[in-house]
Structure 1
Amino acid sequence: MTPTMRLFRPTAAQRELVAGAQAVFAAAGSRWQAIAESGLLGALLPEDDGGLGLLPSDLALLTEEAGYLLVRGPLVETAWMAVPALAAAGAPSTGTLAKVLAGEGLASAVDDTLRGPDLDSAAVVVVAGETGDRLVDAAALGPLEPAATADPDERYWRAPQLDRGAGIPVPPHGVGALALGRLGGAAYLLGVTRWLLGTSVAHASARRQFGVPIGSFQAVRHALVDVHVELEFARSAVWAAAGEVEAQAASARAAVLAAAVQSRRAFALADRQCLQVHGGLGFTWEHPLHLHLKRGQTVAARFGRTRDLAAALGDQVLAAARSAGPSVPPRPSI
């Protein structure tokens, strides 16, 4: 064995481990069953209905941790969207809800592009819209087309022939499935961004250049501090939106849009800055940085483009200001 071959052998072995891990994660049955047994999928359901009786702010915290750990599968689509929609639909969906909660059937959701994860194996799919939600079964999806994503570990499909008016209409429930999906996605992105920041801080503390840690250089410190600031803004926005949803406030949908926009903004900055801090190492598959970058990019592309959500948020804020009428500043008291 040549010296070059000896140097290459650990890399080859690591690639074999990556391939083996991908094969394990492709068989989602046992892993998804474990998630179901934890009760996470029914977190928002009352305990009398087989759920945990948690609030959206509680589930936001759990979803952030799922993002930090890169939990794979339609977690947001199930726990945030499908389960509340199935519960709101009532008797026609009771059997399907029980299967989803038990992990015996997957649930998914499609956005305005008719794309969604695991559509090929989903027992029920939420067709979420601004004006209402519907539940459809697998037969109503029609032929599926593979949809490309940044994350090769996620299996996305597109249902180009899906009739958005098919299936069972879901009675109005809170802010609706679309807003809940955006809030869940924002919480998941918090975890992804937190991992990126923590890993980059650790790398900048350990990597030395010119005899000192690169984290001692002002340019590196400022780059990571900027990510930290955006992450804290995003976390505040997500928690505020969860509180608005819990209170069923009139401004809840606007708060969810703000959380979605800010969480994506924080992740986008982390994407750039953390990759820059890691240098050439960040571009290799041997380092796990790329896994979080790809997953974050995939989640951030769900349920509307960021600029469209920001425009919708602006429209809602302006509409609320117009409906409130002109404000009269208080007269100072002397």
Structure 2
Amino acid sequence: MIRLAFLLFCLAGAAHGLELSVPNATPVKIESQSAASLRLPDAPWSPETQAPVVDGEIRRTVLRTPSNTLTTLQLLAPLSEILTSQGYVKVFTCADAICGGFDFRFQLDLIGEPHMHVDLGNYRYALFSQPGGNPHTVALVASSSNTQGFIHITEVSDVAFPAPAPIPEEPEPTPKVTPTSTAAGDLATHLDTLGRAVLDDLEFGTGSADLGNGPYLSLIDLSDWLGANPTARVVLVGHTDAVGSLEANTNLSRRRAAAVADRLINSFEVDSGQLQAAGAGYLAPRATNLTPEGRAANRRVEVVLLSLE
């Protein structure tokens, strides 16, 4: 069924004199709008200027590859070759930080998760235009997750796009959380048997390291356990989802872990010599980053036992 939809997608493109395809990629989402407008950047993001507005018939398509072994440049290469061979002119192209990172990506009107995933530290954008009496503009975005490659195609034309064949909706993957999830009162058991536990009840401000007032049962349990084991040493490890660069997420996760250590020292009188703080960023997910539920599960602080002596 997906292969049939892909064939009809190519035929629909051919109706506009354009057939877009990528080896080993299949469409997972196609959306169309009639007589609509959107911004298609033709330069890096700048706070002083806005991307130009393009009007017309709009079609958005997400293609997905079964592995993440290709770079973003390699993902876009087949489409770039097709467009160039058909007389399209490359207006602008850039990659992640050079584009403008977060600000550039979020001025793009893309199909969202879980169909299209954009790693803010690893994406590429290209804008093509067909000159002449039947203008057709194509914007491409490529990125990848830990397991797949993603390509987003935005087409704007004066001619309406044929209705695509329906694509079977894929069920959203259920986040699979590792056994380190810690139920109330089980923190001591997890530390004694697994050597680690998740402080699941902590709450931070969005995008910040400000730890809420609580009270947090996990910190009460941890302070009690550390008090009962005065020679124990633990490290608090912050974790994030995969939105944003590795550097930014690592810094944020480290600051959140440090905020937890400060709370334990200042509010629970835990010996500072028993604590360390570190940040892993998005390098140790416990669930998929392709769904909101998975990303929420990945934003956490864990306690890891280093020694009991």
Question: Given the two structures, how large is their TM-score scaled by the length of structure 2?
Answer: 0.24
Q: Whose helix fraction is larger, Structure 1's or Structure 2's?
A: 1
Of the two, which has the highest radius of gyration? 2
Question: Given the two structures, how large is their TM-score scaled by the length of structure 1?
Answer: 0.23
